[in-house]
Structure 1
């Protein structure tokens, strides 16, 4: 793969990672509830899910998901249900003292689960990779070139969301977020429910 082609891939992956959506809300929720470590873990496991989808795209399997309506619908509804569940949990936290989720969100296993399932339950990722990443995969592309595509998508996504978690957990930012935690939980819950409805209906 030429440097110019790789830079194009890098730009596409960066734009995809930075677009606001359920992933950003999920990392924010975990950082607010569990602190820096949970936000970072959520970002890393989200990147693992992205890498998995990038891998199946490189292997040509993602196209099978897109062209099998029942399988694609299963991923879509599974993702929508999980986003809705997260939204309800956030609203419940915001309805108490704003920290009702803190003791649970600090569990790194919860952060791992959220990061992975939000990535795997996002049907837009499948379409994104099939529509865009597949353009970088040619029949004569080497194994190293294919792994480079997967690694680029994974590292860009992970770097972005880890950076988001680090910025949100900064000593000047996190105290402000925690003072307004109740309202932030409510807003995040509404956003997640809205995204779940959009995924389900879209």
Structure 2
């Protein structure tokens, strides 16, 4: 693979990471609720699973997911269930805010602690079969049958680093910006908005699977 081809791959991976969706909502929510470390933990674990999907694509597992409606729908529904749980937990967290107007940044959220943050990042990526389809389409442009393992691992590592790097940057910038302080003062409403968004995404996925 030439440097130009590698840069093209990295750029496409970055564009995929930049797309707004549940992953961004979860990274931002964990960052605001629990701090920079939790946001970065979510980002790194999400990137690790994205790298796993990229490697699975090279091994042919992504083609199995994309070509099997049953497997695809099962993953999609599992993801919807996890989003629904996260959304309901966020709504409960918002309803439990104190009437005195204190912030809820130190209050346990849907997944308190670094372990919970890592679980969120892994699960949001794992239960998103669209990632498999994305890499299946992307890697077909860069990976030829019988490609040497160093090339395959390099491509998977690129996808992992780009994804984790972007979300870690989001967590770092958000936690250090003035907007973060404003958002924490309005954590109650942020939790409710996050809950509504995640529940809406979950229901949209269920409707899509049912209609497909």
2:100 maps to which residue? none
1:58 deviates by 1.1
Change in Cα spacing, 1:42 to 1:57, as seen in structure 2 (3 Å) is same
| Secondary structure of residue in 2 paired with 1:139 | coil
User: Which of 135, 151, 165 does residue 141 from structure 2 map onto?
Assistant: 135
2:107 maps to which residue? 102
* TM norm structure 2: 0.90
Tell me the alpha carbon deviations over residues 20-66 of structure 1, each in whole angstroms, 9 at most, x when there is no partner. 00000000111111111100000000001101100100111110111
Q: Alpha carbon RMSD of aligned pairs, Å?
A: 1.6
Change in Cα spacing, 1:90 to 1:101, as seen in structure 2 (3 Å) is farther
1:188 maps to which residue? 194
1:100 deviates by 8.5
| Secondary structure of residue in 1 paired with 2:140 | helix
* TM norm structure 1: 0.94
Q: Structure 1 unaligned runs (5+)?
A: none
Corresponding pairs, count: 202
Tell me the alpha carbon deviations over residues 105-156 of structure 1, each in whole angstroms, 9 at most, x when there is no partner. 4411110110000010112111111112232110242211111110110000
1:3 deviates by 1.2
Q: Structure 2 unaligned runs (5+)?
A: 98-102
1:112 maps to which residue? 118
1:172 deviates by 2.7
Contact conserved, 1:119 with 1:125, CA < 8 A, in 2? yes
1:198 deviates by 2.0
